Amino acid sequence: MTSRDEILARVRAALDGVEPSYDVPVAPRVTPVADLVGHFAERVEDYRATVVRCSPSEVDARVAEALPDGARVVVPDGLSVDVAGAVSDAGFSAAELDTYDAVVTEARVGIAETGTIVLDHGPGQGRRAISLVPDLHVCIVRTDQVVADVPDAVALLGDGVRGGRPLTWISGPSATSDIELDRVEGVHGPRTLHVLLVG
């Protein structure tokens, strides 16, 4: 028996027959907003990300506008947008991905209350690495993918998680602060997030 097992056995013995004397509070749900998609766009912009709203017929042109001239772009398999000159991810190493300027992916869900985009790395989203290494992430979110809050998002993500797919939760460009609280972007992921809100 390890020390851990011994400690847990003592805890179990001490709690045997004891009923909890407290109620676990249920987290309050957010107050519904009239314009869920607009609320999402505002929250995403609060994180210093760029949000461009467009119709489905404009997506290809808006993706092209979001990419710098001459940028090396990597895209995942299954992307529904044709990105001129982009290279499809072939399982590139982190060092190889670092040679690309941008990545274009789709999202699984957008959360209005937090301004968070979630990728479950299904078709059109690719591996986690391609959404984390290039300096610019252009992410396509359809308006019908926007939900009110985290519980709504989690309900939609269950199948992917049970299927073994990881989740990447994106709330703006990657950012951190140093000891003097100076904001530094691009340390743990893309320095720039460009969201195309399609619908």
Residue range 34-198 forms a domain whose CATH class is alpha beta
Q: Residue type at 79?
A: L
Statement: the pTM of the whole predicted model exceeds 0.85: no
Condensed to tens digits (0 to 9), the pLDDT of residues 158-188 reads: 888 888 889 999 988 766 767 777 766 656 6
Mean pLDDT of the chain: 90
The helix/strand/coil state of 148 is coil
Q: Is the pLDDT of residue 25 over 90?
A: no
DSSP code for 172: S
Give the Cα separation of 29 and 186 in Å (integer).
32
| 124-67-72 Cα angle (round to 5) | 80
Give the Cα separation of 9 and 6 in Å (integer).
5
